[in-house]
Amino acid sequence: MTDRGLFSGYGLSPIDAKGRVAIPPDLRATIEANSAERTLIVTQHECDPCLIGYDRGWATLLAEEIARDEALERTAGRAFDRHNTRRRAFAITERLPFDTSGRFVLNGFLREDMKLGNFAFFAGVGHVFEVWDPQTLLDTADVDDRVKRACRWHMAQKGLT
């Protein structure tokens, strides 16, 4: 898995009344290159008020990373909360199939909890991509200003300023 593609790029996509939203083409191409299936995995970001999305291959690598972190912590004589670490990584996830145009349905707890309304701002950040409610992104202090400017630009293009 050393030749995995990384998620880069961004875009603003509308969310329709049924919860359908399209993954921007660059991000979708990475999922398709990394996986033999058209399935997206989404979960809550570890610390920011957004979702993260990734392919099945990253989920496998994440499990391996958690096992390495646990081994390092235990070798150093420190406690490691294995159960909650794994719960945060894998419990509240959804596997969502998407069509050839990248459309998938995002409904239920994750959409509501992240306050995703009529639009989703996607941002590639390496091994995963983030899915933000645009206003939440703009209101979050720790988000890089360049990302905020890109979000504002996309919102203005859709008449949402």
pLDDT in tens, 7-55: 999 999 999 999 999 999 999 999 999 998 999 999 999 999 999 999 9
Separation of CA 3 from chain center = 20
CB 21 within 8 A of CB 13: yes
Q: In terms of C-beta density within 10 A (0-12 exposed, 13-18 middle, 19 or more buried), how is residue 160 classed? A: middle
Bridge partners, residue 123, by sequence:
10, 130
**Tokens matching residue 118:** 């009529």
Given this model, what pLDDT does residue 73 score?
92
Please tell me the pTM assigned to this model.
0.91
